[in-house]
Structures are given as C-alpha cells and as structure tokens.
Chains A and B, each alone.
Chain A
Amino acid sequence: MRPSAPPPDQSLGALGWLRANLFSSVGNTLLTFVGVALFLIVVPPVVEWAVLEATVAGTTKQACDGGGACWVFIKVHLPQFIYGFYPEAERWRVNLAFAILVGLVALLFIRPMPKKGWIAAFTAVVFPFIAYLLFFGGIFGLPVVPTSEWGGLFLTLIIAGVAIAASLPLGILLALGRRSEMPVVQAVCTVFIEFWRGVPLITVLFMASVMLPLFLPGGVTFDKLLRAMVGWALFAGAYTAEVVRGGLAGVPPGQYEAAKALGLGYWRRMRLIILPQALRIAIPGIVNSFLAIFKDTTLVLIIGLFDLLGIIQAIATDPEWLGYAVEGYVFAAAVFWAFCYAMSKYSMRVERQLNRHKQGV
C-alpha cells in the first residue's frame, strides 16, 4: 500500500492563508508591517490604561491612584448617567415603562405570534401615552416629575424614540406629496423638505427654543423638551422623506400601472402595492437616517437639556470630580457605539431576509 501523498503545503491551512493575505508580494509584506506597527502603537497603551492600570474598586476619587482609567467615576455616577436628575424614589417608573416596551418588542420578535398587527399598533399608539403618564406622573397618585428633571440615557432614548417614531409617518407623507401629480401639493412638500435639509440641526433647535414661543399666540407656552422634540421631528421627517422617495422611485413603473389597472384608489394602491415594496428598498437608508437621528440627539445639550452626553459633560466639570472627562467620554462613546452598531447589524439581517425572494433568480 502506498502512503497517501502529502497535501500541497504553503497553499492551504494557516500558512497558506498568511501567504495569500499578508505576504503575497513585497508591497503587501510592507503593508503588513505597517499594520502590525500600528497595532503595537495603539493597542498596548489603550489596554494598559483601560484595563491593567485602571481602578474599579472604591467609591471616592481618592481610590483612583493608579495611572490608568478611573472607572470609579462611572460607577459612582451611573444612576445619574442613566436617569439624569429623575428623583431616586420614582425611578421604578422609568424602569417599568422600559420593561413594558422591551416586553412588547419581544412579543413582536416571536415569529409565530398571532395578532402581531394589533401588538404593533398598541406599541406605536397606546404605549407612548402610558410611558408619558408614567414618566410625568400627576395621575393615579404618582407625584409629578417635571421634564426639567429628566436626563441621561433615559432622555436620549426618549428624544430619539419620539423623533424616529414621528419621522417615519411624516417622511412617508412628505415623500408621497413630493411625488404627487398635484402641483400645489408637490411644491409645498418640496419646499418643506428642502428647507429642513438645507439648514443645520442646531439652528433648528435654536429656532425651536427661541422663535417657537414667538410664533404662538400670546400666553401659550409649552415645555422646552416638547419644543425641541417638535423641531427634531420636523427635521428628521424631512430627511426620512428623501430616503422614502428614493424607495418610491425604485419601484418599477409596471407596478404602479398594474395597481391602477386593478382599479384600486390612490391610498389603497400606495398602502397595498407601492409602499411595501418602496419601504423594502429604502430600509438601509431608513436605518441610516435613524442612526443619524440617534447620534444627533446629543445636540440638545446646546439648548440646555441634559441627555447622556450633557450630563457627563456637566458632571465632568464638577470640581469634586475634575479630570475624569476622558472616562466619561469613553463610557458615552461605548454606549452610543453599541446602540448604533447593533442597529446597523440588525438592519443588514432584515435586509437579507427581505431580499431572500431574489436569491436563486
């Protein structure tokens, strides 16, 4: 019996992989060295600072005597980072509302769940009121917590949630309006969209906080947070509208004609035939626009609301804890990064699922 021939070395296995991916040519080998050098410059100091020499134990600034990061700063202030100035005794209300939301969303994720439409409608229409009553109080004997005491990650999620929830329907309506055959409707929607897209968000927030009170009849005032949210929703709606419009333009003309030929009216054509296809095409863009909205919630700190970054900034300038801003920023960056990364990965999965019908064609 002849022994089997050895496998062709150097083209398979780990060595072969190295050869193909890192050392395939002189230039490539040089690049590999650059990459390794970059790794050696960046990674060890970061690990040393964030892990090896960091302080985790203790509850005071004095505990931080190592050369590395002072995670005590984060540990001590974590409740404030999450709830802002929300009274400690009332924080269960925030937790309860988020628990309900998580429960509802979890139900939506169960694939064979019956009556999914009703659950989704409940989440979108009824839940916001429940959440508002819980957060604000003043009913069922819950003490009132004014919006000026809302803050931290809690506020970030509220603003992002409201802006995202409001921007999708608004964006769809504006996009349909801009593609409408009625010249007046088209002109109004186009001007509206281009106006909001042409100005920076910060001027919109300034406008909401300084000019909105002037626009309203004398004596009518409303909350700073609500004003910011109105500006936010309009701004986000205009951006989402352009993404949806792209989706609408991507639906083949034959679909519009076929829907018309079936004798369906405008709204049924849109709801049953056009929008499901347009939104599928627009998913990556819609998620990008949601991510931008989420990241831009940090801008509300400029008009004096304390979102996650705002509260970190405020605490980092507290004389008692001076000099730990970096830890705060790293924490905030990690939180934002995790949310954004998870959202973009999830959207990729959804996109693949929705495009499954195209495979094998």
Chain B
Amino acid sequence: MPNAGKTPLKPEKTPLWRDPRTRALVFQVLVLAGVVALVGMIVHNTLSNMREQGIASGFGFLDDTAGFGIAFSLIDYNADSTYARAFLVGLLNTLFVSGVGILLATLLGFIVGIARLSPNWLIRRWAAVFIETFRNIPLLLQIFFWYFAVLRALPAPRESLAMLDLVYLNNRGLQVPKPVLEPGFGWVIALLLAGIAGAWAIAHWARKRRERTGQGFASWPAAAALVIIPPVMAFYAAGNPLDWNVPSLGTFSFSGGMNLIPEFVALLLALAIYTAAFIAEIVRGGVESVPRGQVEAAQSLGLSQRQVMRKVILPQALRVIIPPLTNQYLNLTKNSSLAAAIAYPELVSVFAGTVLNQTGQAVEVIAVTMGVYLTISLSIALVMNWYDRRKALKGA
C-alpha cells in the first residue's frame, strides 16, 4: 500500500462534460431554448400571416352584433345579440347537456354495473352485451344513429308518443313541462340549502361523538326531517310558488312547455349510453376490487348484510371508483363537443363554428374555446387531487 499514511485517497476529478449536474443543466437550457424558439417562431409567423391576410386581431369582435339565430337557448338570445352573448348561449348549452348527461350516465352506469355482478346469469349476460356493444362503437356513429335513424323517423307532432299527457316525443324533439318560478320560491330553495347544511352538521357531530365516546346516534331521521320539513312548509306558506307550464298540442305544433330539440335528445342519449357503458365497467371493477376477506371479516364481526355493504364494501369500492368516474364525467363534457356534427348549438358548434366562420378570427376563437375546456378540466383535476389526498390510505 504505497499510499498509506501519505495523502488520503481522493476521488478522480470528473471532467466537466461527464458530470451529471452539468449535463442536466446544459440539456435543460437546450430544451428551454428550443421551446422558446418554437413558440417565438409560431407567434412571429402567425402575426405576419395575419397581417398579410388582413385578419383583424383582438377581442373587440365580441361586442359586435352576431346576426345569426340559435335554435336552442336557455337565456334570451336573438340575431341582434352580440357575439359575447352567443358565446354564453353556447357555453350554457354545453353545460346543460353535460349536466343532464352526467346524471343519466351515472344512473344507467351504476344499474348496468351492478347488473353485471348479479347472481342471475341472464341479467349478467344482458349487462355484458350492453357494455360490449356500446363501448366498442364510436360515439359519433351513435350520435348519428339516434339523430338520423331514430329521431328523424319519429311521428309528426300530431301523432306524438305521449307519456301521461305531460311529455311528448316526436320528430320536433321532446316536449316537457317547464317549471315557472314565482317570487316565494327563492325561500324554498334557501331553506332546502340550509336544511342540507344542517343535516351535514348533524352527521358530522354524530360521527365525532361516536369516535370520542363510542355512543352511536341515529342521525338519519333528524337529518331527513331537517332537509324535508322546512322547505315543504315554506312551499305551502308561500302559496305553491311553482307552476308547471305543460305542453299542449295546437293545430300543427305544440305550444307551452319546453321544447328540447331533436339534436339535444340525440346527443343526450348517445352521450349517456356511451358513457354508461364505461361507468358500468368502473363500478364492476370497483366492487370486485374489495378483497373477499374483507366481506368475510365483516360478516364474522356480526355486521348485517346492509352494514357490510354500507360500512365495508362501499367505502372501499368508492375509493377505487371515484377517480376514474370523474374522468368519465370530464370525457362526457369534452365529448359533448361532437354535437358540432349534428348542429346542436353548444360551445364548439356556435363559437368555433359559426362565429369563427363569420369573423375569421381563428386564433382568438379557438383559444377561447380551448380555454373554456382547459378551465373545466383543470379545476376538476384540482378537486380530484384534493380528494385523492384526503382519501389516501394513511400509514400505508
């Protein structure tokens, strides 16, 4: 050992170009430079192209008169309204069809998903057929099918398919009763919200008390009473402030009520059924992910069938189900943009379609449209991250 006792063994100095830190730094500078150059080039090209082609820029066009009609609107709109108003109509239509679609898809998806787990062979097969059929056919094709093949083939208003003389289905769409709110209704809503908050507080208190003292408290009756009784009393105290404007058949068409245009009905059916097929698989996977031992252990603790479901299976299954379920909700919202193909006036069809064609301001219009979807997606993602952190297994 010639080195012993002389100089301590020093590691060989790494040359600069082989030092991982230097390399990482250089690589990152290069990536950043590349991205900046690319973005700069795109901006430069776009500006010069727009100048050459005489395309206006900026968002001033939003205040101009739109000059086109929209077939279906939840707010007042006519051809004299501004582009900004048209944008709002499109956005509300997107949210409306997505909201109703999510409700229907969840309902149908859970039914089919549970049917897929049924002990009954026939029901299980039916659920599997439903899932495999609708999951493997493109959504756009399903929209076309409902719109061009089913709704177009429905009878004219005079021969509508009627349900209880309240809801009519014909080739002009779906006629449903329209709620007309009178002044006192605000109180009913307010009391309902207050009741829900109160019920939540009771449940929270009961859980805390059980965790602290071990004493149970049946919070359900009190909570239910709090949610139901005050709004109902307010409803009668205000003198039935809710009227239903029921559709009625005139000579050629319906008057009164609310007309859901065929484009809406077709889109809604396609979205709900397509998404339900995916949700059903998620529900099945979630329930099957609960290990059998958990159920057996719960049963041997003496829990009843209902308690096993409520306290052991559901909490664990939901932890698995909810993240992909929200993902499906997001997909449904984004997929509602396929309405552009059958001209249901939602955001993409109204704004990225008609408005873009009229104004020619592609950059602004597409940016705003994408911005709306990005905002929806990212805010849901934030909520999901918060949920994941809250539900993460602690100490695992």
- List chain B residues, Cβ under 8 A from A214: 45-46, 49-50, 362-363
The verdict on B224 contacting chain A, using a C-beta distance below 8 Å, is no
The distance in angstroms between the C-alpha atoms of A127 and B373, with both chains bound, is 38
With contact pairs A22-B121, A299-B140, A336-B137 given, residues A210 and B356 touching in the complex (Cβ less than 8 Å):
yes
Considering only residues 302-345 of chain A, those with a C-beta below 8 Å from chain B are 302, 309, 313, 316, 325-326, 329, 332-333, 336-337, 340-341, 344
CB < 8 Å neighbour of A31 from B29, B120, B369: B120
With contact pairs A28-B119, A185-B28, A198-B377 given, residues A340 and B337 touching in the complex (Cβ less than 8 Å):
no
The distance in angstroms between the C-alpha atoms of A21 and B28, with both chains bound, is 62
CB < 8 Å neighbour of B120 from A21, A181, A217: A21
**Among the interface residues A22, A197, A200, A316, which one has the most CB atoms of the partner chain B within 10 A?**
A200
Question: Is the CB–CB distance between B335 and A200 below 8 Å?
Answer: yes
Question: Is the CB–CB distance between A203 and B31 below 8 Å?
Answer: no
By DSSP majority rule, is chain A's interface helix, strand, loop, or mixed? helix
The verdict on B318 contacting chain A, using a C-beta distance below 8 Å, is no
- List chain A residues, Cβ under 8 A from B123: 31-32, 34-35
Question: Is the CB–CB distance between B369 and A21 below 8 Å?
Answer: no
- List chain A residues, Cβ under 8 A from B144: 309, 313, 325, 329
The verdict on B370 contacting chain A, using a C-beta distance below 8 Å, is yes
The verdict on A7 contacting chain B, using a C-beta distance below 8 Å, is no
The verdict on B27 contacting chain A, using a C-beta distance below 8 Å, is yes
Contact with B along A98-127 (1 / 0, CB 8 A): 000000000000000000000000000000
The distance in angstroms between the C-alpha atoms of A185 and B32, with both chains bound, is 8
The verdict on A218 contacting chain B, using a C-beta distance below 8 Å, is yes
Of all chain A residues, which has the CB nearest B28? A184
B381 to chain A, nearest CB (A): 8
Contact with A along B189-223 (1 / 0, CB 8 A): 00000000000000000000000000000000000
- List chain B residues, Cβ under 8 A from A198: 370, 373-374, 377-378
The distance in angstroms between the C-alpha atoms of A298 and B138, with both chains bound, is 7
Tally of contact residues, A, Cβ under 8 A? 57
With contact pairs A336-B136, A341-B136 given, residues A31 and B50 touching in the complex (Cβ less than 8 Å):
no
CB < 8 Å neighbour of A337 from B125, B136, B373, B377: B136
- List chain B residues, Cβ under 8 A from A211: 46, 362-363, 366
Tally of contact residues, B, Cβ under 8 A? 54
The distance in angstroms between the C-alpha atoms of A179 and B149, with both chains bound, is 48
Considering only residues 311-340 of chain B, those with a C-beta below 8 Å from chain A are 334-335, 337-338, 340
The verdict on B228 contacting chain A, using a C-beta distance below 8 Å, is no
CB < 8 Å neighbour of A185 from B27, B140, B369: B27
Question: Is the CB–CB distance between A207 and B31 below 8 Å?
Answer: no
The distance in angstroms between the C-alpha atoms of A188 and B148, with both chains bound, is 44
Considering only residues 107-150 of chain B, those with a C-beta below 8 Å from chain A are 118-123, 125-126, 132-133, 135-141, 144-145, 148-149
Of all chain B residues, which has the CB nearest A341? B136
The verdict on A361 contacting chain B, using a C-beta distance below 8 Å, is no
Question: Is the CB–CB distance between A206 and B119 below 8 Å?
Answer: no
Considering only residues 330-355 of chain B, those with a C-beta below 8 Å from chain A are 334-335, 337-338, 340-341, 348, 352
Contact with A along B353-382 (1 / 0, CB 8 A): 000100000110010011001100110010
The verdict on B42 contacting chain A, using a C-beta distance below 8 Å, is yes
The distance in angstroms between the C-alpha atoms of A358 and B28, with both chains bound, is 40
Of all chain B residues, which has the CB nearest A183? B28
The verdict on A222 contacting chain B, using a C-beta distance below 8 Å, is no
By DSSP majority rule, is chain B's interface helix, strand, loop, or mixed? helix
Question: Is the CB–CB distance between A302 and B341 below 8 Å?
Answer: yes
The verdict on B52 contacting chain A, using a C-beta distance below 8 Å, is yes
With contact pairs A31-B118, A210-B366 given, residues A332 and B352 touching in the complex (Cβ less than 8 Å):
no
- List chain A residues, Cβ under 8 A from B373: 198-200, 203
- List chain A residues, Cβ under 8 A from B149: 325-326, 329
- List chain B residues, Cβ under 8 A from A329: 141, 144-145, 148-149
Of all chain B residues, which has the CB nearest A34? B123
Question: Is the CB–CB distance between A200 and B337 below 8 Å?
Answer: yes
The verdict on B35 contacting chain A, using a C-beta distance below 8 Å, is yes
Considering only residues 23-64 of chain B, those with a C-beta below 8 Å from chain A are 24, 27-29, 31-32, 35, 42, 45-46, 48-50, 52
- List chain A residues, Cβ under 8 A from B141: 298, 309, 329, 332-333, 336
Question: Is the CB–CB distance between B137 and A337 below 8 Å?
Answer: yes
With contact pairs A203-B348, A206-B352, A302-B340 given, residues A22 and B122 touching in the complex (Cβ less than 8 Å):
yes
Question: Is the CB–CB distance between B374 and A199 below 8 Å?
Answer: yes
The verdict on A223 contacting chain B, using a C-beta distance below 8 Å, is no
B215 to chain A, nearest CB (A): 36
Of all chain B residues, which has the CB nearest A185? B31
The distance in angstroms between the C-alpha atoms of A301 and B391, with both chains bound, is 43
The distance in angstroms between the C-alpha atoms of A295 and B334, with both chains bound, is 15
- List chain B residues, Cβ under 8 A from A325: 144, 148-149
With contact pairs A195-B374, A198-B373, A203-B369 given, residues A340 and B136 touching in the complex (Cβ less than 8 Å):
yes
- List chain B residues, Cβ under 8 A from A35: 120, 122-123, 125-126
With contact pairs A35-B126, A329-B149 given, residues A203 and B366 touching in the complex (Cβ less than 8 Å):
yes
Question: Is the CB–CB distance between A301 and B140 below 8 Å?
Answer: yes
- List chain B residues, Cβ under 8 A from A32: 120, 122-123
Of all chain B residues, which has the CB nearest A209? B362
Question: Is the CB–CB distance between A218 and B45 below 8 Å?
Answer: yes
With contact pairs A296-B138, A332-B141 given, residues A218 and B52 touching in the complex (Cβ less than 8 Å):
yes
Of all chain A residues, which has the CB nearest B357? A210
Question: Is the CB–CB distance between B120 and A309 below 8 Å?
Answer: no
Of all chain B residues, which has the CB nearest A18? B121
The verdict on A38 contacting chain B, using a C-beta distance below 8 Å, is yes
The verdict on A267 contacting chain B, using a C-beta distance below 8 Å, is no
Considering only residues 34-65 of chain A, those with a C-beta below 8 Å from chain B are 34-36, 38-39
- List chain A residues, Cβ under 8 A from B133: 337
The verdict on A216 contacting chain B, using a C-beta distance below 8 Å, is yes
B120 to chain A, nearest CB (A): 4
A28 to chain B, nearest CB (A): 5
* 18 residue pairs from A and B, CB less than 8 Å apart: A21-B119, A21-B120, A22-B122, A184-B28, A188-B35, A194-B377, A198-B370, A203-B337, A203-B369, A206-B352, A206-B356, A210-B362, A297-B138, A299-B140, A309-B141, A316-B148, A329-B145, A344-B136
Return the 6 tightest CB-CB contacts between A and B, nearest first.
A35-B122, A198-B377, A340-B136, A21-B121, A184-B28, A200-B334
A residues with a Cβ closer than 8 A to B are 21-22, 24, 28, 31-32, 34-36, 38-39, 181-185, 188, 194-195, 197-203, 206-207, 210-211, 213-218, 291, 295-299, 301-302, 309, 313, 316, 325-326, 329, 332-333, 336-337, 340-341, 344
* Known pairs A182-B24, A198-B374 / 11 extra A-B pairs, C-beta < 8 Å: A22-B120, A184-B32, A194-B381, A199-B374, A207-B370, A214-B50, A298-B138, A298-B140, A309-B141, A313-B144, A344-B136
